[in-house]
A = this chain, B = another copy of it.
Amino acid sequence: MTSTKIERIGIMTGGGDCPGLNAVIRAVVLKSLKLGWKVFGIEDATEGLIDLDYRSPFGNRWLGPEHVDQILTKGGTILGTSNRSDPFRYVVEQDGKKVETDVSDRLVANYKKLELDALISVGGDGSMKIAQQLGELGLRVVGVPKTIDQDLGATDYTFGFNTAVQTATNAIDRLQDTAASHDRVMMLEVMGRNAGWIALFAAMAGGAHVCLIPEIPYRIGPIVEAIKGRRKSGAPFSIVVVAEGAKPHEGEQSLAGPQELGAMPKLFGAAFKLAAALEPHLKLDVRVTVLGHIQRGGSPTQFDRILGTRFGAAAVDAVAAGKFGHMVALRTPTIELVPIDEALANERRVDPVGQLVQTAKDVDICFGD
């Protein structure tokens, strides 16, 4: 591991925001300053590097301890983020139409203009792919993984997930109170388009009765049976947790819901559709809560603050050690480095027959399978 002369680095945060991003930024800044480096905070993912005057005079600045002093407890990211700023497919308006164009040369030019020696890129798989491509153009990039959905196999945990599950669990705790008083089915829609980790963890932590996730296509029959079974045993209410990407088993496509719902795919999630499909089968009111972006906000849990801090410090170590093209990862209990391309190849999905799902079934959670 050859050490590299470093004097100035940049840091940016891309993709959807996650509780813990500010912990990463703070650790990168504090540790870099200790090493005598300067740290440039790039605003709104790559936007601030594509255009150095981006949103000036507020953004794009060299960061001192005063900028990171009170951010550890805060959700979001002080650098802002974006999920529409791929420099290789940058969207601009031409003649009233949106077209994609490659502006990576501007980004590279600005990297040189700022005399940056390396870049720490915090982001999801989209950001990591861009980081890889920027590496091919000569930029020296270290990655910090960020996915609130916990769907990256290379690291035991990513920050933000713990907070999101806690938020969803708190919501279930509240629904338990009111469901128990009222003989109702309470449905909670949580994040998770492709991976059901938030739904599974929250359902286990909240003591939910039904949990529907993308990895296990559901059937209406077993769900109705579980809810009715609870009534028979004297518990006339049920809590149903639905990942936004939960989908019915192939044989039950009619469940995709009333045609008219299909018209607004962005706004309406799995829960409303399922509620509409379930109600006729039950003699119970079904009430829906959609947590939405509440799951992305809030002060990070201690777990996510510590994980973010450790990721940030380890990323600085990686820069100092010249381990570009690598990403930090938690291999409990230590932080290690993994090649970015290897990490991207390894998605993590809930195993429908794994230990966790089995334990969930042991405590009476129905997956609709």
Residues of A at the B interface (CB closer than 8 Å) are: 16-17, 19, 21, 26-27, 30-31, 34, 58, 65-66, 69-70, 72-77, 80-82, 156, 162, 165-167, 169, 171, 173-184, 186, 201-202, 204-207, 233-235, 258-261, 263-264, 267-268, 272, 275-276, 287-294, 296-299, 301-303, 305-306, 309-310, 313-314, 316, 332-335, 355-356, 358-359, 362-364
Contacts and interface: CB of A to CB of B under 8 A. Distances in A.
Contacts of A186: 293
A74 B174 CA distance: 10
Given A267-B276, A288-B267, A363-B27, A74 B302 contact: no
A74 B169 contact: no
Nearest to A311: B359
B178 A76 contact: yes
Contacts of A264: 258, 272, 276
A233 B33 CA distance: 14
A69 B235 CA distance: 10
14 contacts: A26-B207, A73-B207, A80-B181, A166-B301, A166-B302, A167-B174, A173-B299, A174-B296, A177-B296, A186-B293, A260-B261, A267-B272, A287-B293, A289-B294
Nearest to A35: B362
Most chain B CB within 10 A, of A309, A359, A364, is at A359
Most chain B CB within 10 A, of A76, A181, A201, A301, is at A181
Given A272-B268, A310-B359, A297 B178 contact: yes
